[in-house]
Amino acid sequence: MLKFSFRPLGCEIVITVQAFSLKQCFFPVKCPICQDPSDMKNIRLQRWCHKKRCFFPHYIYMAFVDSLSAHQVFCLFTLLQNVTMSQWAAILKLSTEFQEKVMALYSQELFPMEVRQYLASWIESQDWKQAARDLSLANVQLQNLLEHLDIQYSRFAQEQEILQQRNFRRFKCDIQARYQAHPQNLAEIIRDILLYEKQILSEAREVQSQAGQPAQVSIVTGRQQEIEKRVNELAERVQSVDCELKFLEDLQETFDFKYKNFEIMARSHPDDKHLKKKRDELQSLLNELDRKRKEVLDQIKGLLGLCETLVEFLQQELDEWLLKQKLECIGAPTETSLKNLQGWVTKTAECFFQLHRIFKNLAELPSRISYEGDPLKIDPPNLIQRLNELLSLLLQRSFVVDRQPIMAFPCKRPLVLKTSTQFSVRVRLLVNLPKLKDNLKVSFCVDKNPPSIKGYRKFNLLGTQNKAMEEIQGEGLVADFKHLILKEQKAGTGGKGGKGANEGSLSVMEELHLITFSMDFKYEDLKMKLETATLPFIVISNISQFVVAWASVLWFNLLSSDTKDVHFFSKPPMAPWQSLKEALSWQFSCTTRRELDTDQLAMLGKKLCEETPRDESTVSWNKFCKENLPRVSFTFWVWFDSVLALVKAHLENIWNDGHVMGFVSRKKEEILLKAEISGTFLLRFSESICGGITCTWVEQHEDGTYTIRSVQPYTKKELSSIPLTEIIRNYQLLAEENIPENPLKYRYPNIPKDEAFGPYYEKRPELTLQYEQYLQRKLIIVSTRQVDELESNFSPRTSENNDMDEWNYTIDDDGLAGIAMNIDSIMINADSDPMLSVSPVELYQELLV
């Protein structure tokens, strides 16, 4: 929020900008409205004050003007709108649901949130991405971070904030011990955290744009509103019954006192004429007591009816949360915060326990005064049983796995675990009552009820067998199992695992397992056993099995209605294309900031369905993950996941910004390019190899024909040495006269290459004085025209010639003897133009940069 305060003098105004960063602040020399430089020449801005102690910067600006016109004021305000909010400040303004996602990114062991908060401005201003690649820069950044921690420590010392002093001293020691030998690990962690924060902010903005309301406002469904209403109504009515019970107790004490006085009077004065009147008063009072008992019981019966409806609503909400959690595990952008649910469940449980106390007090009343037809001897047993059933159901459902099993390394996807590799899982009790945590311990077992599947493997689960629940602020009662390990049990004396000794109908990647958690719940007079289980997960023994295992997790979470169905893959169901295409898009949107568009999904659908998919089209499990695609030796899923891995590792920036068309067929790319000017190119994923991307461009000829060229796909092997943007920047094609030229001029559609990819070009480091006598050199890619290239020209009038050979690539290796060159004879200054190069193989051997 910009805050402006005008001083009485017309020549000066003070502008206070709160929670903003100067990182992206641009002050144009021209008026942003009329583009007239004369309107802005008398205005100059300077930083006046900076409060360094704040979690994020507060800046105060003073604008001095010789004469401030109304137009200049408007221009000044417009100019200041370019000041953008810092990332951490934006996060602090998010709703609790999104802030919980941010909190989950941080760890006291790896990188504390307090460091992120106090050093937010400095952290966001550093290039952690470059530091993750450059060891020397990572070392510098680590030392700078430690220095900033020292500065912050000194500030706390001056202000006598002892607790923060202690924390920051510990933070510095931990960071120094953990990352001194491997500073790039710290850079990678901070880089990933900042990236995930941006993704969370993007999700929040998307919610804001879709809902038409501020992002921090939670979307509340009609059922949630009804739950909130009924929970409050239940609490009020239980409190009312409690008050009625106290009145009933007072009424009974009054009756008891008067009855004892009547007995004394009857014994001492049996002929007293007032005895009959006293007896009538007692009878009237007893009738009132009976009526009041029945009234309280009727109120409790009505309460139990309300409780039944409320528990039913809460079960539906928990079912929906579990469904969202299943989909979130496979990348769906769903909201899985338990904050509201925990509040409702806790409040409902409090009401149930208060009803228990009311029943306990009611049970004591007949022991002092009872009579024939006493309702307190007839109705309460059935009502208590009904209440216990509801409370038991509520407690069972409130014990949940809020963080599904996941390995910290080497693959951070949930529900795929590797034997002998640590993983973590967390359970949570949504009933957060006072003094409850001291009595609760959680234990676990794996595959409590193993299925009767031939060859089904058995595992031992190693780790802390019993863990006490602890209360975490903002989350409630949790038991976090951080260091669990699965060990496969040996089958017989042969020394082989279960699958090796007895092959079953399911593969390792289709075999589902469960971890069951149990807890003895004790609170007041109630004792019961609570159980919950993880979602089914896959156990692999080799990391090479991870890709297919993840496909199994995706298929199960997308299609299964039973979260404990370990027989699912005995007969896997067909997947509706409408659901599957969403899941495929989620794989990209949860890994990058860009989801798949309609055209890309249509290409994938045609690949899976072998025709243009319709709304009712379905895909089989075998087609998705087990059968090879036509003319290649890999399945659809292996190909798709390899593309995703390539994008994440090497193409994320240009993918996010829309420069990679990606999933497009050869036929479609020709349709797009054939009418474009020469040098127009697009980037698409190779269909003939896994994890490859190729560049395809068009050459127009004077006779009206055109040639579509595709370079041999680049994989992670090449892109690990040179970024794709540098390949595009310096790519050379040798003509017939061995004269190199860059055929890539316009990114489709008609965007100049340097305009599209310029922001990603690497900056060349300056030479040190020690090496100034050497010429710089760099790695570039060179292709040669194939001998039969003239036969690949297409006439726009001949449609039958437009089917391209899927394997016809322009080769960029040194396989042609005619272009062999001596590297020393062609090495020229890297800044000269045009740039000559030999084949990549020779350059790789020379380790050129």
Quickly state the pLDDT bin for 69 (edges 50, 70, 90).
low
The answer to whether the beta carbons of residues 508 and 525 sit under 8 Å apart is no
* Least confident among 213-217, 237-241, 527-531: 213-217
Say yes or no to pLDDT of 64 above 70.
no
Helix H, strand E, coil C: the string for 293-360 is HHHHHHHHHHHHHHHHHHHHHHHHHHHHHHHHHHHHHCCCCCCCCCHHHHHHHHHHHHHHHHHHHHHH
Quickly state the pLDDT bin for 310 (edges 50, 70, 90).
very high
Three-state SS at 44: strand
Say yes or no to pLDDT of 434 above 70.
yes
Quickly state the pLDDT bin for 168 (edges 50, 70, 90).
confident
**Amino acid identity at 462:** L
Global pTM exceeds 0.85: no
* CATH 3.40.50.300 for domain 588-637: no
Residue 142 token pair: 């680590």
Residue 647 token pair: 């994008």
Residue linked to tokens 């109120």: 299
Q: What is the pLDDT of residue 119?
A: 87
Quickly state the pLDDT bin for 127 (edges 50, 70, 90).
confident
* Least confident among 33-37, 278-282, 820-824: 820-824
Say yes or no to pLDDT of 684 above 70.
yes
Q: What is the pLDDT of residue 635?
A: 96
Burial readout 724-750 (b: 16 or more C-beta within 10 A, e: otherwise): bbbbbbbbbbbeeeeebebbbebbbee
Quickly state the pLDDT bin for 448 (edges 50, 70, 90).
very high
**744 or 211, which is more confident?**
744
How many whole angstroms separate alpha carbon 227 and alpha carbon 224? 5
Residue linked to tokens 């390995």: 407
- Total residue count of the chain as it appears in this document: 849
**8 or 29, which is more confident?**
29
* CATH 2.160.10.10 for domain 404-573: no
Q: How far is CA 298 from CA 368, 462, 637, in A?
A: 22, 53, 61
The DSSP symbol for 174 reads H
The residues that bridge with 446 in the sheet, in sequence order, are: 515
Long-range contacts for 189-194 (Cβ within 8 Å, ≥24 apart)? Answer: 189/110, 189/111, 190/111, 190/123, 190/126, 190/128, 191/128, 191/129, 191/131, 191/132, 193/105, 193/106, 193/111, 193/116, 194/87, 194/123, 194/124, 194/128
The answer to whether the beta carbons of residues 713 and 693 sit under 8 Å apart is yes
The residues that bridge with 711 in the sheet, in sequence order, are: 810
How many whole angstroms separate alpha carbon 631 and alpha carbon 742? 32
Say yes or no to pLDDT of 819 above 70.
no
Q: What is the pLDDT of residue 220?
A: 54
Where are the chain's structural domains?
2-85, 91-211, 222-378, 404-573, 588-637, 659-846
User: Which of 127-131, 179-183, 382-386 has the highest average model confidence (pLDDT)?
Assistant: 382-386
Q: What is the pLDDT of residue 491?
A: 67
Say yes or no to pLDDT of 681 above 50.
yes
How many whole angstroms separate alpha carbon 379 and alpha carbon 370? 14
The CATH number of 91-211 is 1.10.532.10
**840 or 171, which is more confident?**
171
Residue 211 token pair: 């809902």
Say yes or no to pLDDT of 520 above 60.
yes
> How many other CB atoms are found less than 10 A from the CB of residue 53?
10
Say yes or no to pLDDT of 497 above 70.
no
Q: What is the pLDDT of residue 51?
A: 33
Average pLDDT of the residues in 696-701: 93
Q: What is the pLDDT of residue 764?
A: 60
Q: Give the closest residue to 101 by CA, choosing from 356, 307, 403.
A: 403
Q: What is the pLDDT of residue 714?
A: 94
Mean pLDDT of the chain: 79
- 766 phi/psi in degrees, rounded to 5: -70, 145
The enclosing H or E element of 59 equals strand 59-64
Q: What is the pLDDT of residue 164?
A: 80
Residue 704 token pair: 């009206």
Q: What is the pLDDT of residue 806?
A: 42
Domain 404-573 shares a fold with domain 588-637: no
pLDDT in tens, 555-606: 999 999 999 999 999 999 999 999 999 999 999 999 998 999 999 999 999 9
Say yes or no to pLDDT of 81 above 70.
no
* Least confident among 357-366, 469-478, 634-643, 811-820: 811-820
Question: Superfamily assignment of 659-846 in CATH?
Answer: SH2 domain (3.30.505.10)
Quickly state the pLDDT bin for 500 (edges 50, 70, 90).
very low
Say yes or no to pLDDT of 767 above 80.
no
Q: ∠ CA(60), CA(66), CA(67), 5° rounding?
A: 105
Q: What is the pLDDT of residue 214?
A: 41
Say yes or no to pLDDT of 827 above 90.
no
pLDDT in tens, 463-475: 988 999 998 887 8
The answer to whether the beta carbons of residues 760 and 725 sit under 8 Å apart is yes
Helix axes of 135-158 and 183-211: crossing angle, nearest 10 degrees: 80
Q: How far is CA 332 from CA 205, 216, 536, 585, in A?
A: 16, 20, 18, 9
* Least confident among 95-99, 541-545, 581-585: 95-99
pLDDT in tens, 405-432: 999 887 889 999 999 999 999 999 999 9
Say yes or no to pLDDT of 49 above 60.
no
Q: What is the pLDDT of residue 589?
A: 93
Fold of 222-378: Glutathione S-transferase Yfyf (Class Pi); Chain A, domain 2 (1.20.1050)
Average pLDDT of the residues in 667-685: 94
- In terms of Cβ atoms closer than 10 Å to its own Cβ (0-12, 13-18, 19+), residue 210 is exposed
How many whole angstroms separate alpha carbon 812 and alpha carbon 303? 78
How many whole angstroms separate alpha carbon 334 and alpha carbon 475? 19
Strand pairing report for 680-685 and 399-407: unpaired
Q: What is the pLDDT of residue 182?
A: 86
The answer to whether the beta carbons of residues 678 and 701 sit under 8 Å apart is no
Quickly state the pLDDT bin for 7 (edges 50, 70, 90).
very low
